[in-house]
């Protein structure tokens, strides 16, 4: 069961290291009934990850996308970049339990995946978990309220 609206698109972006996965994930998400807004990159040519993480995060931040997916080699760069945006809670997921907890405890609205360190089927499994896990609220909401500067 999806906890994110399917009436809004999924925002997705990557650098060159995540390009192949991004391409596969866009097709896979479409098969699952999601609309997708692709913020690039559009090839394996070397690029700067902030050029794609910022517009992806801005789309989620403005409410133009239900949630976001960012990919790069380690996922650290895109995660740090996305988290510069107010209202964005990007979480780096490298295993299923982490994908679950960033939703349950942190109310993450962008999942960041390290394309050089996880297999594509694992990335898909983590996105499935991310999109079907609800935020628990309660004591976690108190903590979320303290994140913004």
Which residues are designated catalytic? 72, 105
Quick one: tokens of 23?
């391409």
C-beta of residue 139 within 8 angstroms of C-beta of residue 77: no
Q: How far apart are CA 73 and CA 22, in angstroms?
A: 12
Q: How far apart are CA 130 and CA 127, in angstroms?
A: 5
Q: Cis omega before residue 128 (within 30°)?
A: no
| Cα–Cα distance list, 32 to 1, 10, 81, 97 (Å) | 11, 12, 28, 22
């Amino acid at each position: 069961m999806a906890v994110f609206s399917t009436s809004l698109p999924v925002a997705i972006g990557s650098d060159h290291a995540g390009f192949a996965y991004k391409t596969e994930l866009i097709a896979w998400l479409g098969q699952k009934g999601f609309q997708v807004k692709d913020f690039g990159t559009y090839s394996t040519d070397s690029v700067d990850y902030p050029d794609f993480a910022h517009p992806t995060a801005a789309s989620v931040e403005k409410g133009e996308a239900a949630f976001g997916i960012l990919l790069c080699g380690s996922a650290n760069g895109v995660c740090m970049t996305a988290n510069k945006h107010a209202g964005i809670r990007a979480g780096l997921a490298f295993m299923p339990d982490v994908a679950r907890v960033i939703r349950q405890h942190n109310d993450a609205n962008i999942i960041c995946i390290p394309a050089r360190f996880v297999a594509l089927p694992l990335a898909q499994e983590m996105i499935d978990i991310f999109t079907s896990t609800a935020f628990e609220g309660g004591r976690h909401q108190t903590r979320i309220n303290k994140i913004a500067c």
